[in-house]
Amino acid sequence: MSEVPVRDVILSDAAVLAALHGVCFDRGWSVESMQTCLAAPGTFGLIAGHDLALGMVLARLSAGEAEILTICVHPDNRGVGVGRLLLDRAAALARDQGGKRLFLEVAARNAAAGALYRSANFRQIGKRANYYPAETSDDMPDDALLYVRELE
């Protein structure tokens, strides 16, 4: 995966990031939400790809504790290590800026993300039962699983 370029996100990436986010999530973030997120203190992010954005990660660091805010890889580019590359680079950035631990939260039914986090040395430390509401009348609420990775 080292051949995929990864660079820091800047505020003017908001539209590109929102477009990618919209492809990857049922409820993607708007450009305005992305701008607000990027402008918030402690926020940092990475974007993978040459001209096209293949993947992105946004995180926030505050008082030694970092959190993954969102991570996604374009559906055409999944399963080849881009997500892992972004997660590991974000963890390294957080550590270099003094972060001691990196937290994230994931829906229990999100098997791909769960596999990514476990393979990247995150361990589950908690669960919020029925945290995510059902999205359709046929659907059930889903648990949120809390994960952490030590950065030291």
Ligand X SMILES: CC(C)(COP(=O)(O)OP(=O)(O)OC[C@H]1O[C@@H](n2cnc3c(N)ncnc32)[C@H](O)[C@@H]1OP(=O)(O)O)[C@@H](O)C(=O)NCCC(=O)NCCS
For position 83 contacting ligand X by CB under 6 A, the verdict is: yes
For position 90 contacting ligand X by CB under 6 A, the verdict is: no
Judged by beta carbon, residue 84 or residue 101, the one nearer ligand X is 84
Residue 80 three-state SS = coil
For position 58 contacting ligand X by CB under 6 A, the verdict is: no
- State how far the alpha carbon of 107 is from the alpha carbons of 85, 110, 147, in Å: 21, 5, 11
For position 73 contacting ligand X by CB under 6 A, the verdict is: yes
Alpha helices per DSSP H over 28-103: 31-39, 82-96
Tokens standing for residue 136: 């359709």
Residue among 72, 93, 94, 148 that touches ligand X (CB under 6 A): 72
Sheet of strand 123-132, all strands in order from the earlier edge strand to the far edge: 6-8, 43-48, 55-62, 65-73, 101-107, 142-150, 123-132
Only segment of 2-10, 35-43, 67-75, 88-96 that touches ligand X (CB under 6 A)? 67-75
Residue among 19, 81, 89, 131 that touches ligand X (CB under 6 A): 81
For position 71 contacting ligand X by CB under 6 A, the verdict is: yes
Residue among 23, 92, 111, 134 that touches ligand X (CB under 6 A): 111
